[in-house]
Structure 1
């Protein structure tokens, strides 16, 4: 089993110096800006960015077309719903008028029946008055 040994300050300082030197060497080894490989990479990046911009523009165009199509469909749906609502309203009004007419007809029939019954009752009363008062048969023998 290995025993862990803590590094002292000098070892840590030396390790940091070695790491800094490695980073500096890596930076110095980097090709210059006029190197053909660097220029080729930059041109490739430009082509990629241009292609990405074209794709983004196409996506945006498609999105705008989709939004316009959805807006048109929504307007059509709302127009159909409004027409259906107006038709339902008209049907409800017609039904209400029919019910009112039916109720008025029923009321007029009831009133005419009542007037007819009153007329018959009045006729019976008038006939009874016209016949005059009669004495009951038992009243004559008294």
Structure 2
């Protein structure tokens, strides 16, 4: 059989108010019951965040060390290239100097030979 109720507006407002109060009380009870696990979870999350931060710092440190190593290798390569270029320039200058000396010696030898021939010719004529 159907139940017929004549709920007035105030009755419905009162029932809604009681229902809301019951929900708030249930929420508070659940919150208090979950307090120990919430603190444990927060501590666990804090530890995880600290470990994550430590790993990030280690990665950044490793990346910085790698960049420094690469920069040092590049500097060493540049120094080696500069030294090789300087050695090549020095060798080229030395070769130029020896060639000039050789040309001067050859020229002096030719002049000495020419002077000797000239002296022999004059000696024969005299």
- TM-score calculated relative to the size of structure 2: 0.67
Take 2:17 and 2:37, find their aligned partners in 1: how far apart are those partners?
27
TM-superposed deviation, 1:114: 0.8
Structure 2 residue 70 is matched with structure 1 residue 84: no
More helix by share: 2
Highest relative contact order (Cα 8 Å, sep 6+), 1 or 2? 1
- Name the Cα RMSD after superposition: 3.3
Structure 2 residue 61 is matched with structure 1 residue 65: no
- Report the counterpart of residue 49 of structure 1 in structure 2: 42
TM-superposed deviation, 1:102: 1.3
TM-superposed deviation, 1:26: 6.8
Contiguous gaps of at least 5 residues in structure 1: 1-22, 134-142
Cα shift readout 1:44-99 (whole Å, capped 9, x = no counterpart): 54444333222111110001111112222222222222223223322222222222
Equivalent pairs, count:
114
Contiguous gaps of at least 5 residues in structure 2: 1-15
